[in-house]
Amino acid sequence: MQSFTPVLLEAAGIPDGQTIASYKSRGGYAPLERLLAEKQPVDVVEMVKASGLRGRGGAGFSTGLKWTFLPKDHPGPIYLCINADESEPGTFNNRILMEDDPHQVIEGIILSAFATRASTAYIYLRFEYPRSWHRLQAAIDEAYAAGYLGNNIRGSGFSLDIYLHRGAAAYICGEETGLIESLEGKRAWPRIKPPFPAIEGLFRKPTVVNNIETMACVAQIARRGVDWFRSIGVPADPNNPRDPGSYGPKLYCLSGHVERPGCYEMPLGITARQLIDECGGGVWKGRKAKAVIPGGISMGLMTESELDTPLDFAGPGKVGCLGLGTAAVVVIDETVSIVDFLHNSCRFFAHESCGQCTPCREGTSWSLRMLERIKAGKGRLRDLDLLAEIGNTMGMMPGSTICGLADGAAWPIKNAIKKFRGEFEDYIKRTNPHGWMVTDPVPALQIVGSH
């Protein structure tokens, strides 16, 4: 593994790293001053496009390209929403960026607002991050006092206000149109697209939604240059015209059954095994991994034999997972029952489905009921076919559900049944010796839904 000096995490461990003085002493805000004085918004868009930066919030869409979808010469207002809802199980990189180096995030936001001609930016922050809230607010106050926010920033004619807006503990507020509805004061029901937010978003105005880590990357691209960013990661595959490459450093969140859980900054493309062994000190207690989540629970499962998969935007898809997602790697050791894993996953999605779309509302709740029944020793082999059917259909056809939650709920089911079917069968036969082969309908256990 190449040795790598952290950039996004450069402030980690520095005393008072969250202050503006510390940030400026590390070279922060100088790029902003230079770009505001010398460049036009379109130059910043071109810079970010040229860097190959892909959004860090889960979908991996090209950041610069997304900005170009805004209407040209719009009279405004245009809004920038920063997605700090971070609720994908296993994910905590945004929290660390906001707590340890909030000015890096803020500089990225100011640059992105300049590029998109937004004069208001909202940071939608999940309620469970009180420390991030206080640190960000303190940093925003410092930035106003230093003239980096407010009217006519540094005499450039560009003005920007940043406001913090807190959520109320719902995963669906991380979906960009759910976030927009929530910010508008309504239930966080994702919207049917199109229209996409770039055309009609927050308060029905053109809107860009970007993740916190994406903002930190923009700040570092401005400071260190496009060539620096492109020198890190995995270049585009010349044989695949649809692969734009995976450039830049990435914050990998490592948790579960590892010796040293934590947030590690590495070049995109490190393998799961390298991350677990070299950063995380290996699977805990000297055990073996049974399965590993590659990028948040929505992405599905890799088996131990798939751990040499590179964690870039294209990697997890090659072993049948949904994608890189949030690059949150969760290690599950060999002692864990796959039934327990899937029950946990189904419970999460049944709780978080917003209930608008029938396949998602019913699919998540029925899969949970089935897992409760299997766990309670009343499973039947036929349940596995039904679960596989849910896993293979719910949200799979684009447009059959309003947002990507259904797809994310389906992937762990699909992967678990496909990659660990034998273990499910053994469990069902062992715990339900007299009923595992029955095929009559069964009354479901009651569960309490949410949202």
Partner 1 sequence: MIAPADNAPARILTDEMIAQIEALAPHYPNRRALTLPALHIVNAELRHVPLQAVAEIAAVLGLAPAEVQDTLTFYQFFHQDRPHGKVRAFVCRSISCALRGGDHLLEQLCHKNGIDPYGTTPDGELTIEPAECLGACDFAPCILANDDLLKNMTPETAEAELKKPRARAT
Helix (H, G, I), strand (E, B) or coil at 357: coil
356 forms part of the interface with ligand SF4 (CB under 6 A) = yes
Residue 419, binding choice from ligand FMN, partner 1, ligand SF4, none, Cβ under 5 to 8 Å by partner class: none
Which stretches of the chain bind ligand FMN, using CB under 6 A? 55-59, 61, 63, 83, 85-88, 172, 174-176, 209-211, 214, 403-405, 408
Q: What would the DSSP string read from start to end of 381-431?
A: HHHHHHHHHHHHHTTTSTTSSSSTHHHHHHHHHHHHHHHSHHHHHHHHHHH
From CA 248, how far away is CA 252, in angstroms rounded?
13
- Which ranges constitute the DSSP H helices of 5-163? 20-25, 30-38, 41-51, 63-68, 93-100, 102-116, 130-145
| Residue (93 or 210) nearer to partner 1, CB | 93
172 forms part of the interface with ligand SF4 (CB under 6 A) = yes
406 forms part of the interface with ligand SF4 (CB under 6 A) = yes
Find the radius of gyration of the CA atoms of the chain.
23
| Residue (19 or 326) nearer to ligand FMN, CB | 326
Residue 74, binding choice from ligand FMN, ligand SF4, partner 1, none, Cβ under 5 to 8 Å by partner class: none
Of the ranges 71-79, 138-146, 236-244, 396-404, which one interacts with ligand SF4 (CB under 6 A)?
396-404
Among 342, 357, 368, 416, binds ligand SF4 (CB under 6 A): 357
Which stretches of the chain bind partner 1, using CB under 8 A? 77, 86-92, 94-95, 126-131, 133-134, 161, 163, 165-171, 182-188, 203, 253-257, 261-263, 293, 297, 328, 330, 332-333, 336, 340-341, 344-345, 347-348, 351-352, 354, 450-451
Considering the complex, what minimum distance in angstroms separates the CB of residue 405 from partner 1? 13
Considering the complex, what minimum distance in angstroms separates the CB of residue 292 from ligand FMN? 21
Residue 133, binding choice from ligand SF4, ligand FMN, partner 1, none, Cβ under 5 to 8 Å by partner class: partner 1
Contacts of 412 (CB under 8 A, 6+ apart): 297, 298, 300, 301, 341, 342, 345, 346
Residue 140, binding choice from partner 1, ligand FMN, ligand SF4, none, Cβ under 5 to 8 Å by partner class: none
Considering the complex, what minimum distance in angstroms separates the CB of residue 107 from partner 1? 21
Name which of 228, 180, 190, 215 is nearest 93 in CA terms: 215
Contacts of 245 (CB under 8 A, 6+ apart): 52, 233, 234, 235, 236, 237
From CA 234, how far away is CA 245, in angstroms rounded?
6
| Residue (264 or 424) nearer to partner 1, CB | 264
From CA 17, how far away is CA 10, in angstroms rounded?
9
From CA 299, how far away is CA 329, in angstroms rounded?
10
Instruction: Name the β-bridge partners of 194.
Output: none
Dihedral sign, CA of 221, 224, 226, 228?
negative
Instruction: Take residue 252 and report the two structure tokens written for it.
Output: 């990998």
First to last CA, the chain: 45
Considering the complex, what minimum distance in angstroms separates the CB of residue 409 from partner 1? 13
354 forms part of the interface with ligand SF4 (CB under 6 A) = yes
From CA 260, how far away is CA 119, in angstroms rounded?
42
355 forms part of the interface with ligand SF4 (CB under 6 A) = yes
Considering the complex, what minimum distance in angstroms separates the CB of residue 87 from ligand FMN? 5
Of the ranges 84-92, 198-206, 283-291, 356-364, which one interacts with ligand SF4 (CB under 6 A)?
356-364
| Residue (69 or 163) nearer to partner 1, CB | 163
Name which of 238, 231, 256 is nearest 314 in CA terms: 238
Instruction: Take residue 74 and report the two structure tokens written for it.
Output: 């719009």
| Residues binding ligand SF4: number (CB under 6 A) | 14
Considering the complex, what minimum distance in angstroms separates the CB of residue 372 from ligand SF4? 20
Residue 272, binding choice from ligand FMN, ligand SF4, partner 1, none, Cβ under 5 to 8 Å by partner class: none
Q: Which residues bind ligand SF4 (CB under 6 A)?
A: 172, 190, 353-357, 360-361, 401-403, 405-406
